[in-house]
């Protein structure tokens, strides 16, 4: 992550302060460093909430925002000796000018100052269940304050979950965020193009292709364009591996005649992209591969058409399921004589044998981003039904209504494991097509389409 102009972060802090109320105070820690082994750490990745409000990517930092809008950053003090080993530290003296916070102090003074900052506030807000031992730290500060009540200290009476406020803010991406997400998606699209090309090129040259060869292309393209790291563990799945939903890029051989499923996206300046493409390793779809691919693509088109302001979050999924279910009957994956009509397939959830995940999720700083999937004004409307497969009772609440600035993925798929009654020509084919969409006033903007998606476009690209 790179600190850019401080203005968007200052605007977010001001909006949050208004939500806290004049007597509220919010405490937001940076991400902890994670030891890998001995004195080696995992690559540091800042906490999304902290970065959303600061644009600051150093560890050992805390942000405190008071409801009267004053923000205080606690950060690592300058220390030449440590900076020789670990790199530059901004330090408290430079932080206000650089980050736009009102005040900055050394993190060594956190315990000394926090009780005083909390004194006289009615509610302490912090992210619940996100940071190990945060509650204990906060208890300690409240305890110190309580020890001074005889001298006039006033303890807050309430603690509230800051995630509730920040998740709702983060669900609506401002222009600054949308710009970064468009760039992240473009970089990822270029990486997919590169992997497709390499696969066809190596196979034509008679070379052995392995999943990691394609993964290397992705990483190269991400980093070449300034992405800090992949937004999640890349999936590069050759042949039957595509039917393992959480497969990783490994050493499987990419064989002529098989498909490759790549689900990979870079993270850029704190924002994820999330793209899946499935393509023939040699650049040419076989007839059964093509039939299934066209079906998944048609289901994605139906989902895209259902993604617009005013639609429910679940509408794209329902549109997908309808198209896939009909296709499963038409292609003989499901036997009409056994499962009945398309309506029966949907009601009995028979499609689940080949399509077992949802069609999307919020996308933002986190790949599976925060944000309520239930419409806030309708949380009290609950209906119950029995799941046709598990028999469990499911509580249904009205799904979120899509609004401009929300960003979600649209990612239908089909995964055909070998099984009795399933036509052999489809065995071991796994296909997913995933794009990233910004909800706009008129529908949705697909920001990940710089990588081809139709059969003709993919084959043309891989012929080059």
Tell me if residue 274 is catalytic: yes
Catalytic residue among 36, 368, 385, 463: 368
Closest to Mn ion by CB, 263 or 267: 263
Query: Which DSSP letter does residue 23 get?
Result: T
Tell me if residue 225 is catalytic: no
Distance CA 71, CA 442 (A): 38
Q: Is the dihedral of CA 293, 295, 296, 300 positive or negative?
A: positive
Q: Is the dihedral of CA 399, 403, 406, 408 positive or negative?
A: positive
Tell me if residue 308 is catalytic: no
Catalytic residue among 121, 131, 192, 432: 432
Closest to ligand GLY by CB, 361 or 449: 361
Sites of contact with Mn ion (CB under 5 A)? 263, 274, 409, 434
Tell me if residue 368 is catalytic: yes
Return the number of other C-beta atoms located less than 10 Å from residue 233's C-beta.
12
- Kindly report the backbone phi and psi dihedral angles of residue 332, in degrees, each rounded to the nearest multiple of 5, phi listed first: 80, 10
* Closest chain position to ligand GLY (CB): 263
Distance CA 249, CA 235 (A): 5
Question: Which H or E run includes 145?
Answer: helix 134-146
Q: How far is the CB of 217 from ligand GLY (least distance, A)?
A: 18
Catalytic residue among 361, 397, 417, 427: 361
Closest to ligand GLY by CB, 218 or 367: 367
Distance CA 188, CA 276 (A): 10
Q: Which does 221 bind (CB under 5 to 8 A by kind): Mn ion, ligand GLY, none?
A: none
Looking at the chain, how many residues does it have?
464
Q: How far is the CB of 389 from ligand GLY (least distance, A)?
A: 22
Residues 300, 449: contact at Cβ < 8 Å?
Answer: no
Catalytic residue among 357, 358, 397, 449: 357
Query: Which DSSP letter does residue 276 get?
Result: E
Q: How far is the CB of 400 from ligand GLY (least distance, A)?
A: 17
Chain centroid to CA 207: 35
Distance CA 451, CA 186 (A): 8
User: Which residue in 184, 179, 136 sits closest to 159, CA to CA?
Assistant: 136
Q: Which does 232 bind (CB under 5 to 8 A by kind): ligand GLY, Mn ion, none?
A: ligand GLY
Tell me if residue 445 is catalytic: no
Site string for ligand GLY, 216-235 (x = CB under 6 A): ----------------x---
Of positions 215, 269, 274, 369, contacts ligand GLY by CB under 6 A:
274
Tokens (6 digits) for 15: 């909006």
Q: How far is the CB of 276 from Mn ion (least distance, A)?
A: 5
Catalytic residue among 215, 217, 258, 434: 434
Q: Identify the bridge partners of residue 409 per DSSP, sorted by sequence position.
A: 436
Q: How many residues bind ligand GLY (CB under 6 A)?
A: 7
Closest to ligand GLY by CB, 231 or 345: 231
Residue 37 burial (10 A CB sphere; 0-12, 13-18, 19+): exposed
Tell me if residue 47 is catalytic: no
Tell me if residue 427 is catalytic: no
Q: How far is the CB of 263 from ligand GLY (least distance, A)?
A: 5
Q: How far is the CB of 434 from ligand GLY (least distance, A)?
A: 6
Closest to Mn ion by CB, 289 or 409: 409
Tell me if residue 221 is catalytic: no
Phi/psi region, residue 268 (left: phi>0; alpha: psi -120 to 50; beta: rest), is: beta
Tell me if residue 39 is catalytic: yes
Residue 309 burial (10 A CB sphere; 0-12, 13-18, 19+): middle
Of positions 237, 345, 367, 444, contacts ligand GLY by CB under 6 A:
367
Question: Which H or E run includes 64?
Answer: strand 62-66
Of positions 263, 269, 315, 436, contacts ligand GLY by CB under 6 A:
263
Query: Does residue 411 belong to the site contacting ligand GLY (CB under 6 A)?
Result: yes
- Interface contacts to ligand GLY, rule CB under 6 A: 232, 263, 274, 361, 367, 411, 434
Residues with a catalytic annotation lie at 39, 246, 263, 274, 357, 361, 368, 411, 415, 432, 434
């Amino acid at each position: 992550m790179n600190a850019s102009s401080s203005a968007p972060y200052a605007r977010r802090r001001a909006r949050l302060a208004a939500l806290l109320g004049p007597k509220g105070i919010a405490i937001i820690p940076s991400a902890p460093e994670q030891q890998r082994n001995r004195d080696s750490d995992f690559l540091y990745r800042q906490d999304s909430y902290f970065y959303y409000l600061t644009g600051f990517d150093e560890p050992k930092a805390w942000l405190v925002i008071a409801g009267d809008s004053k923000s205080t950053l606690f950060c690592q003090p300058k220390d030449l000796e440590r900076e020789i080993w670990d790199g530059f530290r901004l330090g408290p003296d430079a932080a206000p000018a650089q980050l736009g916070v009102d005040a900055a102090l050394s993190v060594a003074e956190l315990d000394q100052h926090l009780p005083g900052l909390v004194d006289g506030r009615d509610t302490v807000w912090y992210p619940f269940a996100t940071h190990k031992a945060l509650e204990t730290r906060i208890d300690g500060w409240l305890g110190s304050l309580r020890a001074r009540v005889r001298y006039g200290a006033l303890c807050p009476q309430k603690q509230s979950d800051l995630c509730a406020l920040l998740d709702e803010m983060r669900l609506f991406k401002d222009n600054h965020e949308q710009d970064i997400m468009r760039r992240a998606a473009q970089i990822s699209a270029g990486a997919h193009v590169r992997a497709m090309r390499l696969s066809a090129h190596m196979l034509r040259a008679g070379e052995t292709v392995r999943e990691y060869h394609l993964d290397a292309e992705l990483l190269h393209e991400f980093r070449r364009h300034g992405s800090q790291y992949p937004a999640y563990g890349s999936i590069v799945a050759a042949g039957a591996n595509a039917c393992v939903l959480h497969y990783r890029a490994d050493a499987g051989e990419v064989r002529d005649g098989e498909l490759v499923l790549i689900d990979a996206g870079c993270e850029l300046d704190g924002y994820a992209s999330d793209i899946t493409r499935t393509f023939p390793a040699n650049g040419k779809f076989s007839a059964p591969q093509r039939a299934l691919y066209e079906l998944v693509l048609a289901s994605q088109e139906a989902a895209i058409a259902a993604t617009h302001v005013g639609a429910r979050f679940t509408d794209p999924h329902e549109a997908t399921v309808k198209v896939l279910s009909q296709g499963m009957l038409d292609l003989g994956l499901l036997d009409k004589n056994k499962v009945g009509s398309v309506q029966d397939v949907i009601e009995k959830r028979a499609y689940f044998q080949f399509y077992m995940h949802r069609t999307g999720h919020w996308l933002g700083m986190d790949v599976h981003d925060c944000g309520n999937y239930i419409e806030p004004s309708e949380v009290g409307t609950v209906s119950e039904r029995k799941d046709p497969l598990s028999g469990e009772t499911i509580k249904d609440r009205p799904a979120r209504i899509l609004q401009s600035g929300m960003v979600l993925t649209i990612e239908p798929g089909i995964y055909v494991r070998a099984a009795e009654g399933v036509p052999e020509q489809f065995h071991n084919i796994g296909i997913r097509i995933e794009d990233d969409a910004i909800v706009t006033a008129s529908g949705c903007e697909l920001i990940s389409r710089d990588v081809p998606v139709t059969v003709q476009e993919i084959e043309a690209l891989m012929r080059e």
